Chains A and B, each alone.
Chain A
Amino acid sequence: MKGFGYLVKEGFKNIWSNRIMSIASVCVLVSCLVLTGAAALFSLNVTKLVDEVGDSNETIVYIDSSYTSLEGVYVGKEIEKLPNVTSATFYSKDEAFEQYRETLGDSLFERIEDNPLPDSIIVVMDDLSKYDETVAEIQKIPGVDADTILNRRDFADRLTRVSNLVNLISIAVVSALFVISLFIIANTIRTTMYSRRFEISIMKSVGATNAFVRMPFLVEGMVLGLISAVLASGALALVYEGIGMVVENAQSTFTFIPYLTVLPFVAAAFALFGICVGFAGGFISIRKYLKMEGNEILGW
């Protein structure tokens, strides 16, 4: 398009001459984006957790404490004979104790004389859809502590449900925020446009095309969106790292997805979102003016 540079410059001029509203709309847009981003990252992390839990496809079967470890090994062999069981690995209480000591630190275990942990068998199944039947079979085997089969899949299921709920809420929140952002940007641009209506009327009278008249306002919207995206990417980093630190301190088995690995996607998504909202906002607010002619634009 001819005069593109001029139009882009005009767009930036619009932002500057209307800076209070521009700042306000950037603030709103940044909040929207950070909330959206936080929701998206939360759901990503939950998905990761679910994957870690679900993919491992391990069911832990505890051995009745009245059984010795040797007897426990035989219980494992019995389990392994069942259909749909790929492997049943005996995991002694001593190993488990060592494992805990390694992850949680020696100090906690100094005073514990007796190992309170039971022997267990890690069962991997072939087909998870037959999970319930298989568990029922396992429970019938003597020596199995039938009440305490740690149903990891249940946990995964619950996580998935939570994650779905979060996704659903996120989508609702994001859509609401999208509408709000759109409204704010459209309003900001409408203010600029109102202050420039005189120029618009002259432009139209000398034969400027609608695309040409529209351009600076679209640029204005898109630049506002882009600025918001950059700021929001930074702000989300702070929020995310903060939450991540708290969570990882509280329980160490799960690590958050590091922000740097998702940053390119977050930034790209924010930029896309911001630009789209800005474009749409500009488009919506100028539409009314473009339909008007002559003095109508000036409100005479």
Chain B
Amino acid sequence: MIDFRNVSKTYPNGTHALNDVSLHIEKGEFVFIVGASGAGKSTFLKLIMREEIPTSGEIIINGNKLSRLRRRDVPYLRRHMGIVFQDFRLIEKMTVFDNVAFAMRAVGESSATIKKRVPYVLNLVGLKDKMKNKPSELSGGEQQRVSLARALVNNPEIIVADEPTGNVDPELSHEIIELLNEINAMGTTVLVVTHEHELVREFHQRVIAIDHGRVVGDTGSVTEDGYSEPAESADEGFTDDLGDLEIDIDKLDIDQGFAPGSLDGEPESEGETALPQYPDNVERIPD
């Protein structure tokens, strides 16, 4: 689904944002991208959305080599992705309904389709009752769910969430990630960029750590039995760059260690969605 092959990105001002990054994300995976600010996460997302093009290397999304993608085909690439922003990016003067409908209008959907689809998606994120509200009348968590509904409404194959919990009260952060988890369970590939390790630990999913423009850790894809074989770069990265990391890679390592056991208790979310059960793995970690 998403393939990075030796991708490097150097900005015109000389910043080496990404350095020889190779990774592979399968269709249907849920991946956390973690890293301190300035580690290269934003560049990573920009490259996926093709807001930037790599200086070298190749990115392949859905079998499309992005370097071969013509400018005018970029919008069609983006229709396969739903983007969730840290700051929600909701249009203040529009209602919740219109905010979500906006994404459908932007790709030229008919009003009839919009009228059917928007309530459905808002129901999915639990905001059917707030359809006529303005974003300012909602809590941060609710606003982020509107943003999520907007990302979902065009039925993308990939959801890319950039610090989705960054502007949300901590107690509501779970909800957001849980919602993403449910979306993932329906078959959508989900990428979450975050630096909130609590969250990462709670949801046992693949974690890719980026630091100084390199992938310094990758737990590999998660199967029902826990993590599958870690990606090769993981160990190397962990030992080499451990000292420089601002993020707590140690804890990631611990996560990886306890993962197989603790995952047994976590149900494959099937859609009995109403009240997500938060696995309280945090407490179980022998710190």
Question: Which residues of A approach B to under 8 Å, CB–CB?
Answer: 1-3, 6, 198-199, 201-210, 212, 293-294
Contacts and interface: CB of A to CB of B under 8 A. Distances in A.
A202 B89 contact: yes
Contacts of A1: 108
Contacts of B106: 202-203, 206-208, 212
B10 to A, nearest CB: 17
Given A199-B102, A206-B83, A206-B106, A293 B52 contact: yes
B160 to A, nearest CB: 10
Given A198-B91, A199-B91, A294-B49, A207 B108 contact: no
Nearest to A202: B89
Contact of B110 (A2, A293, A294): A2
Interface of B: 46, 49, 51-52, 72, 75-79, 81-83, 89, 91, 102-103, 105-111, 150, 154
- The interface centre, meaning the residue of A1, A198, A203, A206 with most chain B CB atoms within 10 A of its CB, is A206
B77 A212 contact: no
Contacts, number: 63
Contacts of A212: 106-108
A205 B83 contact: yes
B109 A3 contact: yes
Contacts of A199: 91, 102
Contacts of B46: 293-294
Contact of B105 (A3, A198, A294): A3
Contacts of A208: 75, 106-107
A152 B222 CA distance: 100
Contact of B103 (A206, A210, A294): A206
Contact of B150 (A198, A206, A209): A206
A220 B136 CA distance: 29
Given A3-B109, A294-B51, A207 B91 contact: no
B49 A206 contact: no
Given A2-B110, A202-B91, A212-B108, A207 B51 contact: no
B188 to A, nearest CB: 15
A207 B105 contact: no
A56 B258 CA distance: 108
Nearest to A201: B89
A294 B89 CA distance: 12
Contacts of A201: 89
Contact of B75 (A2, A6, A204): A204
